[in-house]
């Protein structure tokens, strides 16, 4: 691959607040550094079906404050086939696109890794997912906004929990990761978090009830991470109804409202930093890495590392939640 003169940018997988700030940053930084930019619509789908438009600086004006993604997003079946990727490569060549910046989660970066390997295309990933489940970065674009959304919701649920002296199970997203549940619980002052990372080790419901539910409090809020491993909030509510019928239990599933809304300052800042870093990385000759932020410093994480490894839960956070929920 020769000198990079032109890049394509796409968002893929679940949308996340801050993706627009990232699109703006990648576009402006590329133009600032003399590169041509193409916006690719609907993720990898647009690469296959040729929904590719040249972007100028004005195309990304007035979007930093918006949730969702102006490029739209999709989970694309065609791109998982060799034929689909061949078509995508043809379209890239026709537009003269030399490199790709992909904003998305685990599945999106997996697609980038395969495509990059097959066609020797420089690809840079930006971690865009509310789940915060990518290895090698302290935080992902959208995670902070989703946490704040959870916080607002739980603050409201608390009014009813307290007034009616109820036990609430609030289900949050995260796919197979418990970051939103655990940090959401700490921030919202919830009594416990039930997360997939511990689902095989202990009975988290029993632990929570034994730890002191109703010993000193008349209401409780437990955040449950969605996941086949936890079984979700409904599963625990059913169990409580059967095993501890004396408790007045309710369930709230927060669902997709966690994915929307104006990005927080934190998400806008990391998206802006990561976007600039993605262009720097390409110009330095970096290939097939995800841009991460560790200890507030930009890092390059090889795709294979970012995707394959499970990001560990910090045990200190678990202790904090445990100690403060007495
Ligand atoms: O990866 C982001 C996420 O919101 C997960 O937390 C959730 O499991 C999934 O996407 C939901 O996907 P969809 O919007 O396709 O239902």
Q: What is the pLDDT of residues 264-280, one digit of tens each?
A: 999 999 999 999 999 99
Four-residue CA torsion sign, 206, 207, 208, 210: positive
Which residues are part of the catalytic machinery?
A: 131
- Cβ neighbours for 83, distance < 8 A, ≥ 6 positions apart: none
**Using 50, 70 and 90 to split pLDDT, how confident is the model at 1?**
low
Q: What is the pLDDT of residues 146-195, one digit of tens each?
A: 999 999 999 999 999 999 999 999 999 999 999 999 999 999 999 999 99
Give the residue, by CA position, lying nearest to ligand 1 atom 2: 14
- For residue 123, the model assigns a pLDDT of 98
- State the CB neighbour count (10 A cutoff) for residue 160: 13
Q: Mean of the pLDDT values across residues 235-243?
A: 95
Q: What is the pLDDT of residues 41-71, one digit of tens each?
A: 999 999 999 999 999 999 999 999 999 999 9
- For residue 43, the model assigns a pLDDT of 97
- For residue 214, the model assigns a pLDDT of 60
Q: Mean of the pLDDT values across residues 121-138?
A: 97
Give the residue, by CA position, lying nearest to ligand 1 atom 11: 14
Ligand 1 center–CA 178 separation, angstroms: 13
Which atom of ligand 1 is found nearest the CA of 226?
8
Q: What is the pLDDT of residues 80-105, one digit of tens each?
A: 999 999 999 999 999 999 999 999 99
Which atom of ligand 1 is found nearest the CA of 106?
1
Mean pLDDT of the chain: 95
Ligand 1 center–CA 14 separation, angstroms: 6
- State the CB neighbour count (10 A cutoff) for residue 107: 18
SS3 322: helix
- For residue 212, the model assigns a pLDDT of 65
Ligand 1 center–CA 237 separation, angstroms: 22
Ligand 1 center–CA 317 separation, angstroms: 24
**Using 50, 70 and 90 to split pLDDT, how confident is the model at 217?**
confident
Give the residue, by CA position, lying nearest to ligand 1 atom 5: 175
Compute CA distances 226 → 167, 172, 181, whole Å: 18, 6, 9
For residues 215 and 219, give the distance between their C-alpha atoms in angstroms, rounded to a whole number.
10
Q: What is the pLDDT of residues 9-25, one digit of tens each?
A: 999 999 999 999 999 99
For residues 76 and 80, give the distance between their C-alpha atoms in angstroms, rounded to a whole number.
7
Protein residues with CB under 6 Å of any ligand 1 atom: 14, 105, 129-131, 173-175, 226, 259
SS3 54: strand
Give the residue, by CA position, lying nearest to ligand 1 atom 12: 14
Q: Mean of the pLDDT values across residues 142-149?
A: 98
**Using 50, 70 and 90 to split pLDDT, how confident is the model at 256?**
very high
- For residue 208, the model assigns a pLDDT of 87
- For residue 36, the model assigns a pLDDT of 98
Which atom of ligand 1 is found nearest the CA of 131?
6
């Amino acid at each position: 691959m020769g000198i990079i003169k032109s890049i394509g940018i796409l968002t893929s997988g679940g949308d996340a607040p801050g993706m627009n700030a990232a699109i703006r940053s990648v576009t402006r930084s590329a133009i600032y550094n003399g590169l041509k930019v193409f916006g690719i619509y609907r993720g990898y789908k647009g690469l296959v079906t040729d929904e590719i438009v040249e972007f100028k600086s004005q195309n990304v004006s007035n979007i930093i404050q918006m949730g969702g993604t102006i490029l739209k997003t999709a989970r694309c079946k065609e791109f998982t086939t060799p034929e689909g990727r061949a078509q995508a490569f043809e379209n890239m060549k026709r537009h003269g696109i030399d490199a790709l910046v992909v904003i998305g989660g685990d599945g999106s970066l997996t697609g980038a890794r395969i495509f990059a390997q097959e066609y020797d295309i420089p690809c840079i990933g930006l971690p865009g997912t509310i789940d915060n489940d990518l290895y090698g970065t302290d935080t992902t674009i959208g995670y902070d906004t989703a946490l704040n959304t959870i916080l607002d919701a739980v603050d409201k649920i608390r009014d009813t929990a307290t007034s009616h002296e109820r036990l609430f199970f609030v289900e949050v997203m995260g796919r197979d990761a418990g970051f939103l549940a655990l940090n959401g619980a700490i921030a919202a002052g919830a009594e416990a978090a039930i997360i997939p990372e511990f689902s095989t080790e202990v009975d988290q419901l029993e632990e929570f009830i034994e730890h002191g539910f109703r010993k000193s409090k008349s209401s409780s809020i437990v955040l449950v991470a969605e996941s086949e491993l936890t079984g979700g909030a409904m599963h625990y509510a059913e169990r409580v109804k059967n095993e501890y019928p004396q408790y007045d239990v309710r369930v709230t599933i927060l669902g997709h409202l966690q994915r929307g809304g104006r990005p927080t300052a934190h998400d806008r800042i990391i998206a802006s930093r990561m976007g600039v870093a993605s262009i720097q990385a390409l110009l330095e000759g970096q290939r097939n890495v995800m841009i991460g932020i560790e200890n507030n410093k930009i890092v390059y994480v090889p795709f294979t590392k970012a995707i394959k490894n499970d990001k560990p839960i910090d045990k200190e956070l678990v202790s904090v939640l445990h100690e403060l929920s007495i």
